[in-house]
Amino acid sequence: MKKPEQFLKIHLPENLIRDLDYYGQKENKNRNQIIKEAMQLFICEKNKLLMYEKMKNGYEEMGNINLALAEIGLCIEYSLLQNYEDEMPEWKEVPW
């Protein structure tokens, strides 16, 4: 079932209309078909950019979370090492 279409009136500069007609002749398509394809491509590219921006923000947020977790882990490891060394007094007597 074909979706209903709406009429849209647009104003374009002459050079853009010439380009539109050039590619229409080259691809054997009318202006309407060329404009539909251009709009679909435009929207697709905009959606991609939006998705990439969301992904970038998500990776940045995860980077901050991972850094915080690594710092917590490092503090815990350091604390455990200190406790271990404190319980091994013979290490303090070894002359290096």
Residue 37 burial (CB count, 10 A): 13
Per-residue confidence (pLDDT) for residue 92, from 0 to 100: 59
- What distances in angstroms separate CA 26 from CA 13, 20, 31, 33, 87, one per listed residue? 20, 10, 12, 13, 83
Amino acid, single-letter form, for residue 86: D
**80 contacts: CB under 8 Å, gap ≥ 6:** none
Residue bearing tokens 């917590």 = 72
Q: Are 12 and 20 in contact (CB under 8 A)?
A: yes
**Total-model pTM:** 0.59
Q: Where does the pLDDT of residue 68 fall: very low under 50, low under 70, confident under 90, or very high at 90 and above?
A: confident
pLDDT digits (tens, 9 = 90+) for 22-63: 999 999 999 999 999 999 999 999 999 999 999 999 998 999
pLDDT digits (tens, 9 = 90+) for 11-22: 999 999 999 999
